Each structure stands twice: as structure tokens, then as C-alpha cells.
Chains A and B, each alone.
Chain A
């Protein structure tokens, strides 16, 4: 193995989106030599696609907002399946994390008194999203990227080497984590450009690899989203939680076919856009579920008054949490009231002046104009659900982001628990800042704690990783990896998609077994430098493993909640709310186990009215509540 370049580091962060960059900044600020490994070029990660904003209860627009209200909204959005401690930390720390970005140079849109402006979004009681037009993710990634550059400039001045403490390994993909006994010892991967291998010798790895969207055909996610971190964690012996919960964003583009799935920001609705079916009806009023009746308007008049007077009117049902809106659109299309291209109409043109639309939604205006020849200031958009986000992910300790394997941490989309069964828009950008920082800090603390007892690299693991990575190039005339990938995406889309049925999930699991066999025999033409066919073949292993987790968990959970809808079990079941489904892997077999959901402490439970809790909890839970929490009413 002498031809493999080796790099010793204190902390290796895999992924260079918001969570990874924030984790790396923290680890470096704690004095650790930190590597950032990014699958693409530096600054291109999927965070740039985030449009709406970062949710943080700063109270700049409505002073009634505070962390308790944000916590409550997050739990409601997740249908009370969230890990309460993550939701609590997130709501408490998000404002500091957003303000901190200003000290790195971020320029958010402003209120009249010069503070950070905040916008309305689905499921958030008050205007809460710090934003920059509809390109907030770009601002976030660029700000963090520039902060890293500034830390490198400090290191250059101090040590004569900009990369002494913080180095970006761009276009580099990790395929295996190595271990020393139970604990992490390193990360093995390849350079995209040359195809040569690289080994990081490190006691601490922070996974910040994002999601799994590429296991679906219609997705807002890019090619990078192949569940790498989820799969690396599983294979290293860690566990995943809540993998059945996948968020289908209600509004993706549906036409032209080549852009199907590309995101249309929720800000369109936050800023006044409405959903109509082919009969011109604002159908969302028909789809307000019982648990949300108290918070949403029942007439168009009231909904329209809310934009100007939110204190005395209820919010429009277009701003229900994403799972509700996605299912509603799905039902309308199924009932034959869809748009010509198989979506529904999203109209902002009759709601705001053209100039205002171009100012508030510049990238949407641009996107529709350039890709679909649609002028959104003059006509409605056609939109439909698209696979957007996985709520499930690596099971972590809320305070430290530590996975079950010593030395392994996870933050951002790759981590599970924070969002329960459904994530609220805007809670992702704040999540990755809050838990990115915590993961970086905890990784640094872990390195301090082990001191000189650094885990050695087991050379046989490196040799095995090399053989495995080279397999698609050394095999003879096997199947084209693109074909298997595309069949997998179609299967997940058709059979484990937005609405699920037992027999279809079983069918999908059967197909997954055949894909696994086919994947063993795929071969890529060409050689190692920048060979996309080879990369697809390697990503395929991760996609398959993660798809199996999703399908098995989806089969097991016989209820409908958030991002998991079972047509054969359409009701939300309070008994299931007490259950987390945990995925682990043994060999190449995924096993699902039940684990009780951590119980929320009384002081947080008391933020909710008992009447609301009764919609989610079992009678047993409610009676315990009576004895411990008294009235259970919020202050």
C-alpha cells in the first residue's frame, strides 16, 4: 500500500456543505488540525440550493417570537417524533449561530430598523427565516467558505502555511471508514481528478454528507446526494434512526421533463403565492388536518388578511407543513384536477406586483424564465412533489452529535432525530449551523480526551478498501452502472414514494435484492482519472444500502406520520409515536429494531396545551401527564 498518499489529521470532516464547514471552523478554532473532504469543488455543496432561509427566533419582525415558540413549531412539524433535546438546542442556539454569520461577513436582507429581516414560512408561527432574497443557501455557503479562507489567512501569517491547520481536499470522495477495534481510525477514499487513493489517519470523523435524494428519480438533490455518510456510518457499526421519513417538497418543477424535480422555493407561498387546481380552486382549504385546525384560516378572505394582519387572522393553509401540502397536491392530481404536465398551479402573478416578485424571488423568476419559458410575474407555475430531504439519519447524542461509534460524529441532514417525521422549511440551515458547530467542538474534545493514544491504521482494512474501490474497473464486461442506478431510482419513486402500500414496499425490497446482485457485477469503461462511470458504480453501493433501510423501515411502520404515508394505515397512531425504528447492518443485511423515543421533560411538555398533546399521545401517556404536569397548559 505504499502508493497511497497518507495524511494525519486530528479531525476529518466529510462534506463541505453548511454543516461540514461549520464543524471544520469549530474544530480549527479549538486548535485542531482539520481536513475538509469535499466531493465537489469547494463552495458547490448542496447547501447552495437552499432558498428560503435559516429559521431562528430572533424576534426581529415579530417580538413575540422566542425559542419556546420555535421549539413548539418544530415539534408540531415533526408530529412529535423529534428528539426533544435536539429540537430544544436548535431553537435555543439558532439565533446566535445566525448572528455569528454576520461577523463572518454575511449580508442578510434587513428590517427597517436595520436588523436581520425574517420571513414567513410553512409551519412557523411568526416570521422567522433570516434570508437573502431566495438565495439564502448561497449566502450561507459563501460566508462559511470565506470564513475558512480568513482562518487560513491567519494561519499563513502565524505559521507561514495557509493550510497548516485547515485544509480543503476538493473533489475527493471517501468510500470507507477504517477502525481500530471499536473506534474510528481513519478514512479512505479517492481523488476524483486522478483516481488515485488517499488515506486520512484520524481519530475523529465528522460526517456532514447530506442526504439520499439520488435514490429517487424525481428529486431536488444533485448527484452527490447518494447517502454516503449514512452508508459509511452503518458500515462502521453506527445506527440510523427514522429512515422511513422522507420529505417530498410539495413544489418542484414538473415541466420541462429534464428539470422535473428542481425546487421551487416555499418562499413563493410565504410571500403570498397560492395553489390552485385545474378548476381554479384554492384547494388547500380542503386539506387542513384536525391537528392543525386551530392555526389555519378556513376562508380565502381570512387567509388573505393574514399577510397584512397576522395577529388577528389565521394563516393560509398553503403554509401548512410540507408533508401536508405534498399529499394534498398528490390527491388533487390523482383526482384528475391537475395541470397539463401533471402538477398543480402555483400562482404569485396575481398576488404581487411584477417588480416585487422580481425583487423578492429573483432566482425563481430567473429559473422559470430560463428553463421553462414561464414568466412568473405574468402566469402561474406548474409544480408537484419532489424528493427533497431525509429526516432520518445517523443516530446521535443531541449535545455532542456523537454517533454510537467512538470518534464518529454526524451533523446536518446526515444526522437523524432533530426533525422527527417531517422537517419545517428553514430549520435545515439553522440545524446545520447549530449541530455543525456542536459536532466540531465535540470532535475536538474527543481528540483531547484520547490524548496520545491515537488509533493505528489496520493495513488489511486499507487493502480491502482498495480492492473494493477498484472492483468496477477490474471486472470484465459487466452491466452499465447507470442502468442499475436508474432502475433503482425508478423503483424507489414508484414503490416507496410519497404514498406507500405494503405490497409495493415488499415488491421494492425484492427488486432491491436483484439490484444488489447486479451492482456486484457492474463495470465502468475507461480508466481512473475523472471517470464518472466509475464514481456512479461506487456511489451505487451506498444508494442500495440506504434504499433498503428506507424500504424496510417504511414496511415496519404501520401508520402514517409526516414524511411517511401508508395508504393501508392512513391514521397517525399514538402508540407508534413512542417508537423509533433503528437500522443497523450486519454484512450486507439491514436489520430494523424498535427503540423507545426519549421522553420529553415536563417543563417542555408544559409549553403545549393538553388538548393539543391529546392528539398525539396515548391515553396512558396523558394520564401520566396529569399526575406530573398538573394542567399541562402553557404559560
Chain B
């Protein structure tokens, strides 16, 4: 079962390359291994300073995000058996974020966006221990709380992937599901989550290509269950022709 695989790994400028380049490695692969195992073997045997982020190695923490043969993936959940033994495997850092070193990128954009969403607002007059919610009502938000913040959806979203200029105005799919989660939270006291997503998070820039849903390792239906319902309800209030007409006639707005 053991064989030698050809790996091409992005290395930043440093001891190995003067300018940042793909570096070729030949490395042992054993049965059942994932790409992260191979990266670790490179660290332990050939490239002690190869930088990679990882923690749980079980698909639960979302740290080891990178691109394998150009596809955004968790390195710990990408099995070597999905590739042919003679296939060259290229591992590169997430493209939408600035590279810090090798496979590690600066994902601070996401933490900045997280801080811009108004937090959960507890219902007035409900004491701790007195919260009552039905399972069916919490399940909608629970789907979005499965998010492990791997930021693969942020990385793949074409609104920012090759458009740095869109970043200030666009929060990205991870934070649209955060907005949806709070909007659907049975006890959140804020009423303006949808408006906020439209007005402040740039949800209007999303044109529903579903790339985010495709790369989500938690299989969260980001587009269908969060973005589209949020957009529809924004449309209901913002662009409904009757509401528009009414607002003109009765001067409501």
C-alpha cells in the first residue's frame, strides 16, 4: 500500500526559494492517509520549517484550509486515496487571503467582519433558565451554527476571490449565515437582521452561484437555506410593488 507520491507545495521566499514558488517533493504515502499527513511527513523529514495551520485533524476546527489541485479543501479531510498514485498533487494556500508563509494565510478579514455583525440580543425580561424554544425552531439556526469557520466559502466566493476591492463592502457567505442564524433565532430581540445584511454586509452583491455551498465541509446549505431566504425577505419589503405604491400614496417610508 505504501508508495511514493509527487507533491508540489507552495513555499514562500526564504531558505528554499528567493521568491516564493512551487517546490517539488517526493514523499511516502501509506494506507488511509490524508493530505495533512503527507504535509506533516514533509515537515518531519524534508522541510522542518514548512508552515501549515492545523489543530484537530478531524474536520472539526477548520484550521487546515488550503487548496489541493486548485480546489479549496480541509487538508485533514482530503484522503490520498481520492488521487491516482501517479498524480502530482499541488498544495497551495487559500487564494483570497494574503499569504503569511507557505500554506498559512492572513484570515483577519474574517475576524473583522465577525465583529461588525451586531451580537445576539437577549430577549428583555426572560431570566436565564427561562428560555423556552422548540427543537423544530432552533434547528434552522443550528444548521448554520455547525460552521467550523474554515473560511473555504469566503475563499471560493468570486465576489472577493479575485476582487480585493470588494472586501470592504462584502462580508461573505460565512457571515451571511451568521446573519441568517440570528434572524432565525427564536429569541433574538433584534428585528433588522435582514436589512442589516443587505445594507451593511453587501448581501446584494451575491448572485447565488452556490460555490460556497459546494465547498462547505459541513455541508451547510449556505445559499439555499440562508442567503436565498434572506434575500427573498429583503425583496419582500424593499421591492414589493404594492408596498412601493403604498409608500408613494400614503407617504410612508
A residues neighboring B (CB under 8 Å): 40-46, 48-49, 58, 95-96, 99-100, 102-105, 107-110, 113-115, 117, 132-133, 135, 138-139, 142, 146-147, 149-150, 152-153, 162, 193, 222-224, 255-259, 262-263, 362-363, 366-367, 370-372, 480-483, 486, 524-527, 529-534
Contact = CB atoms under 8 A, between A and B. Distances in A.
Contact of B58 (A100, A152, A263): A263
Contacts, number: 178
Interface string B131-152: 1111100100110011111000
Interface string B90-133: 00000000001110100100010011001110100000110111
B43 A482 contact: yes
A150 B119 contact: yes
Nearest to A50: B60
Nearest to A60: B129
A532 B50 contact: yes
B53 to A, nearest CB: 7
A114 B49 contact: no
Nearest to A486: B44
B148 A113 contact: no
B135 A109 contact: yes
A372 B15 contact: no
A44 B132 contact: no
30 contacts: A41-B63, A48-B61, A96-B128, A96-B129, A99-B129, A103-B131, A105-B122, A107-B138, A108-B138, A114-B133, A135-B60, A135-B146, A146-B119, A146-B120, A257-B31, A262-B57, A263-B58, A370-B77, A371-B34, A371-B59, A371-B77, A482-B43, A483-B44, A529-B51, A529-B100, A530-B102, A531-B51, A532-B43, A532-B49, A532-B51
A223 B185 CA distance: 35
B79 interface: yes
Nearest to A533: B48
Interface footprint category on B = 35 or more
Contacts of B60: 48-49, 135, 138, 363
B185 A107 contact: yes
A85 to B, nearest CB: 24
B52 to A, nearest CB: 7
A13 to B, nearest CB: 18
Nearest to A221: B56
A532 B59 CA distance: 21
Given A44-B149, A105-B119, A256-B31, 7 more contacts: A103-B131, A107-B142, A150-B119, A222-B54, A371-B59, A530-B104, A533-B43
A531 B43 CA distance: 10
Contacts of B185: 105, 107
Contacts of A40: 53, 55, 61, 63
B34 A223 contact: no
Contacts of A139: 145
B37 interface: yes
Contacts of A255: 32
B92 to A, nearest CB: 16
A359 B132 CA distance: 21
A100 B128 contact: yes
B59 A370 contact: yes
Contacts of B59: 366-367, 370-371
B184 to A, nearest CB: 10
Listed residue (B31, B51, B60, B101) with the most chain A CB atoms within 10 angstroms of its CB:
B60
A482 B131 CA distance: 50
A258 B37 contact: yes
Nearest to A139: B145
A526 B119 contact: no
B132 A115 contact: yes
B120 A150 contact: yes
A108 B186 CA distance: 12
A44 B62 contact: yes
Interface string B11-55: 000110000000000000011111001000001100011111111
Nearest to B103: A530
Contacts of B44: 480, 482-483, 486
B120 A104 contact: yes
Contacts of A105: 119-120, 122, 182, 185, 188
Contact of B48 (A45, A146, A480): A480
B56 A533 contact: no
Contact of B56 (A48, A104, A109, A256): A48
Contacts of A133: 142
Contact of A531 (B49, B55, B111): B49
Closest 4 CB pairs of A and B: A256-B32, A526-B49, A105-B120, A150-B119
A222 B59 CA distance: 12
A223 B60 CA distance: 14
Listed residue (A46, A147, A152, A366) with the most chain B CB atoms within 10 angstroms of its CB:
A366
A367 B102 CA distance: 28
A23 to B, nearest CB: 19
Listed residue (B37, B48, B101) with the most chain A CB atoms within 10 angstroms of its CB:
B48
Contacts of B104: 193, 530
Nearest to B187: A102
A350 B231 CA distance: 43
Contacts of A362: 146
Contact of A49 (B37, B52, B58, B146): B58
Given A41-B107, A49-B58, A532-B50, A153 B134 contact: no
A530 B54 CA distance: 13
B61 A527 contact: no
B115 A162 contact: yes
Nearest to A171: B53
Contacts of A366: 59
A257 B61 contact: no
A526 B48 contact: yes
A237 B239 CA distance: 67
B32 A527 contact: no
A367 B43 contact: no
Contact of A110 (B63, B100, B138): B138
Contacts of B58: 49, 259, 262-263, 367, 371
Contacts of A256: 31-33
B32 A48 contact: no
Given A146-B120, A533-B43, A44 B48 contact: no
A371 B104 CA distance: 24
B132 A113 contact: yes
B250 to A, nearest CB: 35
B48 A132 contact: no
B133 A110 contact: yes
B119 A259 contact: no
Nearest to B123: A103
Contacts of B119: 105, 146-147, 149-150, 153
A455 B57 CA distance: 41
Given A49-B58, A256-B32, A482 B15 contact: no
